[in-house]
Amino acid sequence: MKQLRVVVSGSAGRMGQALVRLIDVADDLVLHAAFDVGGDPAAAAAGADVIVDFSSPSGAVAAANAASAGGTALVVGTTGLGPGEKAAIEEAARRVAVVLAPNMSVGAVTMYRLAAEAARLLGPGFRPAIFEAHHRHKKDAPSGTALRLAEVLSVPRGEVQAVRGGDVVGDHTVLLLGDGERIEIVHRATSRDAFAMGALRAARWVAGRPAGLYDMASVLGLG
C-alpha cells in the first residue's frame, strides 16, 4: 500500500503534535517532514503529497506559497486569518487543491448542516443565538467555527458570545429561540484528536484532486 507523504506545518503547537502522533500510527500515512517557526516550508514540501497547516496566519501563507510553488496539495486549519491571508490561500488554490476550514472535526461540520436545516424548518419566528468557549490560550475570538455558524444563520458577528478560560478544547452552542420552546444544537470537542483526525481525513481526500478551494463539506460529500 502506498503511503501518503504528509508535511505538518506548525509542528510545535498542540495541533501539530497531535497530527504527528496520529500520522505515526496510521498505516496509510507517513510523516514526510515537520516544521514550525523558522523552518523552510519549500524544503519541507519537496516530494510531499500534502501539507497540513495548523500554525499561524503568517505560517499559513508561507505553507500556501510552498504548496503552490511545489504543486503540493494543502489543508489549512489555522484560524484567525485576515483578508490578506485568505487571499494568499485562495491564490494558491488556483494552482493546487486546497481544503480550508475553520474547524476540521466532522462533528462540527455536521453541526453547520443541522443548524441550517433547523433554521429553515423553524422559520423566522425562531431567533438564532451562538455561544462558544475555548481554552485561555486561543487568540482569536469569536472562533472560526462560531463565525461560520454566524454566516450560516445570518447572525451578526457582534452578537456571537465568546468565552476564553481554562483548558476547554472547544464548545459551540446554537440556540433557536421561539415562543414557548427552543432548539439547542451543541458540539463539544473533548480532545484535539477530533480536529487532527478530520484534518488527516481531508489530507487523504485532497491529495491528487484538481486545483481549487474546497471545504470540509466537500470532504464529507455534503456539497
Please indicate whether residue 86 is annotated as part of the active site. no
pTM (predicted TM-score): 0.85
- Fold annotation for 4-104+193-219: Rossmann fold (3.40.50)
139 counts as catalytic: no
Query: Looking at residue 18, what is its pLDDT?
Result: 96
Omega before 102 cis (within 30°)? no
At 139 the pLDDT is 84
Going by C-beta distance under 8 Å and a sequence separation of 6 or more, which residues neighbour residue 124?
A: none
Beta carbons of 53 and 33 less than 8 angstroms apart: no
Q: CA 89 to CA 100: how far, in whole Å?
A: 8
Cβ(107)–Cβ(194) below 8 Å: yes
* 110-115 long-range contacts, CB within 8 A, separation 24+: 110/220, 111/149, 111/172, 111/174, 111/185, 111/187, 112/148, 112/149, 112/152, 112/217, 113/217, 113/222, 114/185, 115/149, 115/152, 115/153, 115/174, 115/185
pLDDT of 2 reads 87
Domain ranges of the chain: 4-104+193-219, 106-189
Q: Hey, which CATH number is domain 106-189, 3.90.550.10, 3.40.50.800, 3.30.360.10, 3.90.1170.50? A: 3.30.360.10
Q: Which of 2, 32, 86, 134 is catalytic?
A: 134
Distance CA 114, CA 70 (A): 38
β 73-76/97-100 pair status: parallel
With H, G, I as helix, E, B as strand and everything else as coil, classify residue 134: strand
3-class DSSP state for residue 220? coil
Per-residue pLDDT of the chain (223 residues; tens, 9 = 90+): 689 999 999 999 999 999 999 999 999 999 999 999 889 999 999 999 999 999 999 999 999 999 999 999 999 999 889 999 999 999 999 999 999 998 899 999 999 999 999 999 999 999 999 999 999 988 889 998 999 999 999 999 999 999 999 999 999 999 999 999 999 999 999 999 999 999 999 999 999 999 999 999 999 998 6
Catalytic residue among 32, 138, 172, 187: 138
pLDDT, residue 85, reads 97
